[in-house]
Amino acid sequence: MQISKLNVNNKIPESTKVLSVKEKNSNDIQAKLHLTSNEKYIEIKQLCSVGNNITEYIISYINGKHLKMRPHAPLDYYASIYQRIIEDCDLDPYKMHYSQICKAIVVEDSQILNYFNCDQKSKLFIRNKKTTFLPTSHTEGLEYSITYKDPLYWGVKIESINS
């Protein structure tokens, strides 16, 4: 079976804006990445847009051993996190084992709603939680991310593969 994300942007240009890049060490995220309490990770928050419409809010937590913090780099240096990991550590996240859960949820968090310029008290989103594992371990994580996507820009295509 092959599953792929549908491109539902109707050929309108897509863009990514990096909101913040911070080195952190919260126990909750360390546990999700299977890091020890003194190992750090990097939190990157991004907004993705199609034209002028914000389509996604992404929070990525990257194992600090596999992404170099560059305090003086402009935020857009981190717009392609996987490209940074490939260049920094010679690891290709696109080829790594991952686990993800996509679920439609109602979000009431005003901070998230504000990113989408939403004036409602709640809104339906597709939430994607994904963990990408290091090739040397099926427990230690390279990345844990949470994405909130506007359902108008979400779609999945599933095809069977003949062997």
d(CA 149, CA 50): 12
d(CA 7, CA 9): 6
CB atoms within 10 A of CB 56: 22
Domain boundaries, given as residue ranges, for the chain: 2-156
Tell me: pLDDT of 6 over 70.
no
Tell me: pLDDT of 5 over 60.
no
The predicted model scores a pTM of: 0.89
In this predicted structure, what is the pLDDT of residue 109?
Answer: 95
In this predicted structure, what is the pLDDT of residue 81?
Answer: 94
Query: Which one, of 3, 127, 158, lies nearest residue 58 by Cα?
Result: 127
d(CA 13, CA 32): 34
Render pLDDT for 54-67 as a digit per residue (tens, 0 to 9).
Answer: 999 999 999 999 99
126 or 138, higher pLDDT: 126
Three-state DSSP at 160 gives coil
Pick the CATH number of 2-156 from 3.40.50.12780, 3.30.2130.30, 3.20.20.10, 3.40.1410.10: 3.40.1410.10
